Amino acid sequence: MLQLGIKELAKYPFLAETGDYLRDKGFNLEQLSDPDWKPVVEKAYGRIVVATTGQIYGGNLENPDLEILSFVIAIILLKSAGISTLNRRFSLAEARRAERYLEQGLNALQKDRSILENLKLKEESIQSSLKIIQDLFSILVTMEDDRLKIRIADYLTRAAHFNEREWKLVNRRVENGHVYLSSHEIVRLVRKELDVYINSKIQSVSVSFIPETFRERVEDLVLLAKKFPTTVIVSSDYPPCIKHAIEVMDRGENLPHSGRFMLATYLLAKGQTIEQIIPLFKNAPDYNERITKYQLEHIAGSSGKATKYSCPSCEKLKSENLCFAIPECDGIINPVQFGTRRKTNA
């Protein structure tokens, strides 16, 4: 098995190897509670705060010890606070951070290695990307004529659950049992699993006691979580497709463009204002208030060509895998009719 260097571990501190690193260095919770480690606790707290704003923590790989320890302490803080919204936001942001490094490693693989600067570091970066993708997700990435490829079955188990048409297998280059993909696409395939993996790390860690030096920041996290918007309450009157979309957004998970469009057009049709709708999108991994406002205004017809968009039909939503019909949906052809039109007996 490949041993990751400390710099690589700083990129992917959620790996099991971090446990070995901590043991080798002799770190334990008692030791980390020493006031001398307060700056690392602050760094860990900052890492969580950045994640909760939907941004991706950059860090500094030149100080790998700090990177690894701040991640470990962040996990302890999160576990102690016990707030699942924070865990989800943190795991998603850390997954996005790791994606960047995975992609860099795969990109380096595609380049002529003889011209790479600092060959050893690049080689490590390549190997760690390949190893993580193989060990954590059982995907073997190989190269053919500077093109990256994975097995079709590995592709389908992920991409078939995406909604966008470009992810359909028919829209991919397929040859001899393999799908050819860019480094970005390969990493995109494992995003969800990476997120789940990091979240499971937070869930599985056991914290025997909360050091005094951590306690203040744990309380701060509890206060921080209270700030998250709960403006839109899921009403039982919402159709299941809209409920599902709201739940996905609430979990801070990625709702495809078509799903966001459905949600916006539905709520607009139901008389909500743009200002009332915006908070719903705050949990989106790529949330940007300015862009969200612009897009909602465009959909509402208050900007651009003043075209007001309607909520997509049930049939359209079915084809986009956004339909989760229940018996109460019988007789309607558009989500906006839900609850207002009932099936009548002929």
Partner 1 sequence: MLEKNVNFVETALKEYYFNNFELIHVPSRTSEREFGYQKFNSGMVRHLTIKNDKDLHFLLMTQVPSDVYCSNGYYSFPNLPMSEKDWKEADLIFDIDAKDLKLACRKNHTCFKCNSCQNVNEQSSKCVKCNSDKFDVISVTCQNCINEAKKEVKKLVQVLTEDLAINEEKILVYFSGNEGFHIHVTSSEYQTLDSRERADLADYIMFNGVIPETMGISRQNNSKTSLPDIGERGWRGRVAREIFGSKSKRPKIIQEILLGGYPNFQSRLEEMRPTIGVRIDPKVTMDIHRIFRLGGSINSKSGLSKIPCNNLESFDPFSDACLLGDEKVEILANCPTSFILKNKKYGPYVSETISVPKHVAVYMICKGVADVPQDNEN
Binding site for partner 1 (CB under 8 A): 151-153, 156-157, 159-161, 165-166, 168-178
The amino acid at 184 = H
Whole-number minimum distance, CB 243 to partner 1, in Å? 21
Length of the chain measured in residues: 346
Q: Which helix or strand (DSSP H or E) is residue 174 part of? A: strand 173-175
Q: Are the C-beta atoms of 330 and 343 separated by less than 8 Å? A: yes
Residues 107, 98: Cα–Cα separation, whole Å: 14
Q: Which residues 6+ apart lie within 8 Å of 26 measured at CB? A: none
The token duo for 250 is: 């609430």
Q: Which of 24, 166 has the CB closer to partner 1?
A: 166
Rounded to 5°, angle at Cα 52 from 47 and 56: 60
Whole-number minimum distance, CB 277 to partner 1, in Å? 29
Q: Which of 167, 287 has the CB closer to partner 1?
A: 167
3-state secondary structure of 170: helix
Residues 313, 81: Cα–Cα separation, whole Å: 43
Residues 25, 92: Cα–Cα separation, whole Å: 28
Whole-number minimum distance, CB 151 to partner 1, in Å? 7
3-state secondary structure of 142: strand
Q: Which of 115, 170 has the CB closer to partner 1?
A: 170
**Dihedrals φ, ψ of 22, to 5°?**
-65, -40
Q: Which of 228, 324 has the CB closer to partner 1?
A: 324
Q: Which of 120, 165 has the CB closer to partner 1?
A: 165
Q: Which of 43, 158 has the CB closer to partner 1?
A: 158
Whole-number minimum distance, CB 168 to partner 1, in Å? 5
Q: Which of 177, 229 has the CB closer to partner 1?
A: 177
3-state secondary structure of 148: strand
Whole-number minimum distance, CB 88 to partner 1, in Å? 24
DSSP annotation of 172: S
Whole-number minimum distance, CB 295 to partner 1, in Å? 20
Whole-number minimum distance, CB 160 to partner 1, in Å? 4
**Dihedrals φ, ψ of 263, to 5°?**
-60, -45
Q: Which of 303, 319 has the CB closer to partner 1?
A: 319
Among 221, 147, 243, 145, smallest CA distance to 186 is for 147
CA 91 to chain centre: 7
Whole-number minimum distance, CB 178 to partner 1, in Å? 8
